[in-house]
Amino acid sequence: MAEGTHASHLAESILLVIGVSIVIVALFQRLRLPSIVGFILTGAVIGPYGLGWVSEAEAIKLLAELGVVLLLFSLGVEFSIDRLLQLRHYVLRAGIAQVALTAVISAVGAGLLGFNLAQAIALGMIISLSSTAVGVKILKQREELDSTHGRFAVGVLLFQDIMAPIFMAVLPFLTQIQERGLSMVGVKLIFTVVGVAGVYLAARVIVPTLLRWIVASDSREIPVLGSLFIALLMGYITQSLGLSPALGAFVAGVIISETPYSHQITANIIPFRDSFLALFFISVGMLVDLPYLRDNWGQVLAWTLALMAFKCLLVLGIAQAIRRPLRVGLLAGVALANIGEFSFVLMEQSRATQLLPPDLLNGLVAGTSLSILLTPILLAATYQILARATRRAHWLARTRAKHETHPELSDHIIIVGFGLNGRNLASLLRELNEPFVVVEMNGALVREAQKQGIPVVYGDAAHPEIMHAAGIERARAVVIAVSDPISARYTVRTIRELNPDVYVIVRTRYMSEIEPLYAAGATDVVPEEFETFIEIAGRIMRLLGVENEMRLQLMNQCRARHYQMLQDTKEGVFAN
């Protein structure tokens, strides 16, 4: 009878948790706020320090640990060597600098505040991480993953994701520093690394064999269950060695990422990962001491804002050190200013090992949730400020880069951006034997252009000095082919101040960006969104048998009406 009552209470608790989280997360999505904060708020409301509705908190916490294991497993599966190589300049410079400096400075600050060595190191690791889920989601929504500040932020986040499982492996050893000393703990850590390496080498033989058997099945259930089995098996093995089970799951994921089955495994695991991970964040919220926060909300808010400002300024300094514009550093800094989801895992480890005091952990959980909540708000405000500052704030685009001038160029075309569109245009101009010069801020693309013998200026085109080096006063036209709308707007303003008569054509992705670009001084704006429709319409008319002459006439009429409407509208069709 007792077992039946326990099962009934567990079912009631799970139903309650899921039901309340659906309502709160739906509200957060309507307000365009991060779901993570909604899950934490759910736990705080129904947890023991809130309404006290959940009676089976320990059982839910056990399910939540599965979410962490699956999160690390999927992180390993999605780990991309190609992506790492593409962003290696940001990963190896900005990423290492951000994590190392943030961790060291935070640890030193914690030591000065009276925390012991182990606690200071733990705090440094917790604070150094940012939210990959929130940062990538915001940049993806704005279609800015390939912008300069997007690559900067993603490169840093990628390095943080690499460091997260390492931090999770190291943190349990910190509690032994006071008892055994730093040297003994270091020796044990070395043996642990050797053990993990041995598990990895053994798994490289076993896991691919299991995968081949799993994917060979005609049943849909076996691949799904097999993916879960591999993740949990590796977690169990590393747990048996005295390590975090999430570390083993990550190792298994990295091995699977090297196989052809990685995409299918990711698709299999995502529904389970997201469900259990939601329970993890809810369980974190259940540990939030609401009376403590009520009595100390001012202190928590002040420390949260101070830490966000510190992380943002540090990223801004790194951007300047690697010769990126202040504008790029500011946007990346705000995106990385929060404390991330992996920090919650480290906090849970610190709570389980009693490494950090409960009051501090309460403040950290609340402060981390608040930082994630503030990130999209502060980033939107930063975009607005930068957009309004395009007329005069050239210092926001300043870099300390050295650049080569091209005084021999005259009546030439300047191509801003050496991405896909820029490279294709450069090839066309070469075939036509027309003079041109490329302006690019990505060092790898600059070197690629130089290898091809293309004249190139390294730097941000939004800065007058860079455009002087490209010969803007003598140019026939400027083609802006970058994916960052704010950067494009800055560049147009700069060009118009230096050469009011030059022809400026801007590539943009969305219709909503047309008005600001025309207002900035662009001669022509080509929206990919609309031009894609024109191309689709043309191919449909060809399929329907419309004659070529009529098809081209209709396409040109549609294009002319659309662009004329935009240029004739005084306030702009998107003003409301």
CATH of the domain at 502: 3.40.50.720
pLDDT value of residue 242:
66
What is the residue type of 445?
Answer: L
Neighbours of 388 (CB within 10 A): 9
Both 292 and 333 in a single domain? yes
Q: Is residue 432 part of a domain?
A: yes
Describe the strand order of the beta sheet including 413-416 as a list of residue ranges. Answer: 456-458, 436-440, 413-416, 477-480, 503-508, 524-527
Both 380 and 439 in a single domain? no
Domain that residue 421 falls in: 402-568
Please report, in tens digits, the pLDDT of each residue of the chain (576 residues total).
455 565 566 666 677 777 777 887 788 777 777 777 787 788 788 777 777 776 655 666 666 666 667 777 776 776 666 666 666 777 778 889 999 999 999 999 998 988 888 889 999 999 999 988 778 777 776 767 767 788 888 888 888 878 887 888 788 777 776 666 666 656 666 766 676 677 777 777 777 777 777 766 666 667 777 777 777 777 777 777 666 676 777 777 777 776 776 676 777 777 776 776 677 777 777 777 778 778 888 888 899 999 999 999 999 999 888 877 788 888 889 989 998 878 888 888 888 888 888 888 888 888 888 888 888 888 888 887 876 665 444 544 444 444 555 666 788 999 998 888 888 888 888 888 889 999 987 777 888 888 888 888 888 888 888 888 888 888 999 999 887 777 888 888 889 888 988 999 998 876 777 788 888 888 888 877 677 777 788 888 888 888 888 888 887 777 666 655 554 443 333 332
Both 357 and 420 in a single domain? no
Number of domains comprising the chain: 2
Both 359 and 409 in a single domain? no
3-state secondary structure of 202: helix
Both 195 and 50 in a single domain? yes
Both 436 and 358 in a single domain? no
Phi-psi region of 545 (alpha: psi -120 to 50; beta: other; left: phi over 0): left
Both 368 and 495 in a single domain? no
pLDDT value of residue 401:
45
Q: Is residue 573 part of a domain?
A: no
pLDDT value of residue 4:
54
pLDDT value of residue 569:
42
Nearest to 411 by CA among 479, 501, 471: 471
Helix residue ranges, H only, 216-324: 221-240, 245-257, 262-286, 290-321
SS (H, E, C) 325-368: CHHHHHHHHHHCCCCCHHHHHHHHHHHHCCCCCHHHHHHHHHHH
We report the CATH number of the domain holding residue 82 as 1.20.1530.20
Q: Give the residue from 345, 361, 388 where a domain finishes.
A: 388
Distances (CA, A) of 218 to 213, 215, 224, 235: 11, 8, 12, 27
Both 330 and 438 in a single domain? no
| Residues pairing with 436 in the sheet | 413
User: Tokens 């733990």 appear where?
Assistant: 122
Q: Is residue 153 part of a domain?
A: yes
3-state secondary structure of 32: coil
Q: Give the residue from 357, 388, 419 where a domain finishes.
A: 388
Q: Give the residue from 354, 388, 422 where a domain finishes.
A: 388
Both 209 and 128 in a single domain? yes
pLDDT value of residue 570:
38
Both 140 and 264 in a single domain? yes
Q: Is residue 365 part of a domain?
A: yes
Q: Is residue 159 part of a domain?
A: yes
Q: Is residue 333 part of a domain?
A: yes
Q: Is residue 117 part of a domain?
A: yes
pLDDT value of residue 275:
72
pLDDT value of residue 333:
92
Both 67 and 178 in a single domain? yes
Q: Is residue 396 part of a domain?
A: no
Both 30 and 102 in a single domain? yes
pLDDT value of residue 243:
66
